[in-house]
Chain A
Amino acid sequence: MRKYFFSSDHKVIGLQYYFLALVAVIVSITLSVLMRLRLTWPESNWPLMSAIFPSAFNASGQMTPEFYLSMMTMHGTIMVFFVLTIAPQAAFGNYFLPLQIGASQMAYPRLGQTSFGLTFLAFFLLITAFFVTGGAPLSGWTAYPPLSAISSAGPGQALGMDIWLISVGIFSIAAILNSINFILTILTKRANGMKLMWLPLTCWGWLATAMISLLAFPVLIAAALMLFFDRRMGTDFFVPGGLIVGGRLVDLHNGTPVIWQHLFWFFGHPEVYIAILPGMGLISHLLAIFSRKPVFGYRTMVYSMLAIALLGFLVWGHHMFVTGISPYSSMAFSFLTLIIAVPSSVKTLNWLGTLWGGKIQLTTPMLYSIGFVSLFITGGLGGIFLGQSSLDIYLHDTYFVVGHFHLIMGSSAIFAIFAATAFWFPKVVGRQMNEDLGKVHFFLTFVGVYAIFLPMHFLGIAGNPRRYAEISEFLYLNQLQPIHKFITIAMLVTVNSQLLFLINLVTSVFAGKKVKENPWQATTLEWSTSSPPPPNNFEGEPPNVCRGAYEFSIPNEEKDFLMQID
């Protein structure tokens, strides 16, 4: 009990985070399946669902649009916070950061335990929002006021919205504590001889992400607190004057709702990089290992990661082109946004440079990594369109945006999680995941993800707005229904093929192929200790690092790799 639930061992905390993310992703995917079904077959009846949530269905048994919106809100919130934020950073980071830098534990073990506890509490609270009076909130994961500030704006906007705000606040505190722990671990706990420029790129990814979290989450807390005060303490920050909700004039106010958007996106845009930067670090790492080549341009990789982290704070305005901000600031934000393409292209070029001429081994983690690069490029190309204010005015709030961010932020980061799982599974369990099953899963998911999200770009260009529970009311959208059907069927196939991954994950724990401590012939410190690692990570002497992380295929050497401790 003590060992697995209330441990301050970083490895246990990492696994706890991983399983929390797994539960969250299952809940969240279920929500998106229900949403797609509602969108594609609006007339269908849901006997089982209406037994659980009677208020979410009308008299003839159809799901209400309000319930669709609350599912959409919860899908976004759970995915962004409890999957994309915690799985790449907190789960794998907590487990492997100390191992990779040669430390016996994190700098503040109990702080790690506290942040997991708070994260778990936040998730539990968020789920309860479904079961309180009125149900979950409807205002999307962005919670734009004034609708999110007024309890009468919708069924979930009363108690559900309060719970949402409290949950997000607690989550943010946990994320800040976790990032302080990460930064100080990297700065103070490195093994003897480990220079910063010898760190594996995974660690650089975690460091950059921790720095962003430290600077971005406080702004979200401030915004959530002010919104909460608006709702419960009678302050007047975000609700504008002359507002009519549900046909009635809201009492006298003179707040400015656009301020919320400034605060939210000042956090929200860096949040995108919080989800993707650990993946970038990891993919750089894996591509080098499975090409048996040093990372092409290690230093530029590090600097471009830091550049992305910095630029991420300067571009929040590109989410607000249609809110009536000055066209001049739109232009500035547009310009800065497109500048991010430079460090991103540097990274892509370096990934391809790492692959170029390497002895490529197409193992499962490598396939997921290549999938990541592909999705990142495709999603990034969509970003070039959205980053320009002139095009964004048309494409904003259409399915183009949905397709874009699901490709670049959602699917890429999820592919990085798959890659990390397959890659580090032998270290955690001592057995390998099934390669054949993994490859089948990769191909189904890879094709499936494109089949789902590429057509959404066309829907967006055709003018299909997002967040609509059904489109059959609109003449010009009716002809798009076949594309929606295609997407939904592709989605059902893809979601079901995730069962392969789950089966593989569970059965490999008991029946996977047993492997030695370094099955991938990797160079970093975690592969020099036993699998699973002992409680203090390294038996005997602490490791002594004498070279960089990517010493592959060195001329005139017997082995094609040198460990960092050799």
Chain B
Amino acid sequence: MSVIETKDKVKDNQTTSGGGNKANNNNQGYGGGGDGDKGGKGGGKIEPKKVTNSPMLFVLFAMIPITIFFGAIVFVYIYREISNGWQPIKMPPAAVSSTIVLIISSITLEIARKALKNKQLERFKRWIMISTFFGIAFFTSQLVAWKQLMAKGVYMASTNPHANFFYMLTGVHAVHLFGGLIGLFYVLLGAIYYRFSADRRNAVDVATTYWHFMDGIWIFLFLLLFVWK
């Protein structure tokens, strides 16, 4: 609790002397900030209404093209499924563990976020570590799934569209999720060094939202690849 407030004050003292606008932007939409927030509002100047420079908006808007990107590939998947040459591949056991691990990481991340909201910093630090661990575990598990399939002789380079799609979809999903992992690492480093400025707290929300989103995409892909016929 006390840590949050001191960090805030340091930040706000810096920003009042510089551009007063920025501090406002970063605190927008975050209720639990310290009372230092008001320092930044630059003496009754007319502010442009609704200044929301939050990275959150960016990530929310970035979800639209990402969804369409996956949607385009899924469209081809469904189109190809009815054409010839389609041989359903057997689900590698690691795909199930990937799914479970990713869902767990989303849950732990949510616990961490709640902890930060209630200003339980140690609890936040612990759970964010657990979440990052499960995040890495997902990537490992996906690699194991690839290995398991390759051991059965199912490769990306093949004339079986289902195998093509499995490797491609898991691959592009992993690339997108990697962005989320970088976000988690950023948050984790902040937690380790007890940096809880408004920016950092905002980053927790942003990383969590993006992670949930990619989690949702994976569940959809998992159902599409192995359950939906």
Contacts and interface: CB of A to CB of B under 8 A. Distances in A.
Q: Are A and B a genuine interacting pair, yes or no?
A: yes
Contact of B69 (A222, A252, A255, A259): A222
Contacts of A103: 48
A236 B48 contact: no
Interface in A220-238: 221-223, 225-226, 229, 233-237
16 contacts: A180-B61, A183-B61, A184-B58, A188-B50, A191-B48, A218-B66, A229-B156, A234-B156, A234-B157, A236-B161, A236-B164, A237-B161, A252-B159, A254-B83, A262-B75, A541-B45
B76 A218 contact: no
Interface string A193-236: 00000000000000000000011011101110110010001111
Contacts of A237: 76, 80, 161, 164
Interface string B45-70: 11111111100011001101110111
Contacts of B46: 192, 541-542, 544
Contacts of A111: 58
A467 interface: no
B85 interface: yes
Contact of A218 (B48, B51, B65): B65
B208 to A, nearest CB: 20
B73 interface: yes
B61 A184 contact: yes
A254 B85 contact: yes
B2 to A, nearest CB: 33
B158 A192 contact: no
B69 A102 contact: no
B76 A107 contact: no
A112 B83 CA distance: 43
Given A188-B53, A189-B51, A235 B156 contact: yes
A184 B72 contact: no
A217 B157 contact: no
B127 to A, nearest CB: 30
B159 A254 contact: yes
Say which size band chain A's interface belongs to.
35 or more
A236 B158 contact: yes
A255 B160 CA distance: 10
Contacts of B189: none
B168 interface: yes
B192 interface: no
Contacts of A214: 61, 64-65
A420 B133 CA distance: 54
Contacts of A222: 69-70, 72-73
B79 interface: yes
Contacts of A234: 155-158
Nearest to B57: A184
A102 B46 CA distance: 13
Interface in B145-181: 155-161, 164, 167-168, 172
A425 interface: no
Nearest to B62: A180
For B69, B75, B157, B167, the residue with the greatest tally of chain A CB atoms inside 10 Å of its CB is: B69
A107 B56 CA distance: 12
Nearest 5 A-B pairs (CB), nearest first?
A234-B157, A222-B72, A218-B69, A254-B85, A235-B164
B17 interface: no
A192 B48 contact: yes
Contacts of A252: 159
Interface string B189-223: 00000000000000000000000000000000000
Nearest to B161: A236
A196 to B, nearest CB: 13
In the complex, which of the residues B48, B84, B160, B167 has the most CB atoms of chain A within 10 Å of its own CB atom?
B48
B72 A223 contact: yes
A219 B72 contact: yes
Nearest to A223: B72
B76 A189 contact: no
A400 to B, nearest CB: 31
A359 interface: no
A189 B48 contact: yes
Nearest to A103: B48
Contact of B58 (A108, A190, A235, A253): A108
A218 B68 contact: yes
Interface in B20-46: 45-46
A268 to B, nearest CB: 13
B82 to A, nearest CB: 10
B58 A180 contact: yes
A226 B168 contact: yes
Contacts of B53: 107-108, 188
A184 B60 CA distance: 11
Contacts of B158: 234-236
A119 to B, nearest CB: 16
Nearest to B69: A218
A553 interface: no
B61 A263 contact: no
Contact of B76 (A217, A233, A263): A263
Contacts of B164: 229, 235-237
Nearest to A251: B159
A62 interface: no
A235 B157 contact: yes
Nearest to B164: A235
A84 interface: no
Contacts of B52: 188
B65 to A, nearest CB: 4
Interface in A386-410: none
A188 B53 CA distance: 8
A108 B159 CA distance: 44
A256 interface: yes
A176 interface: yes
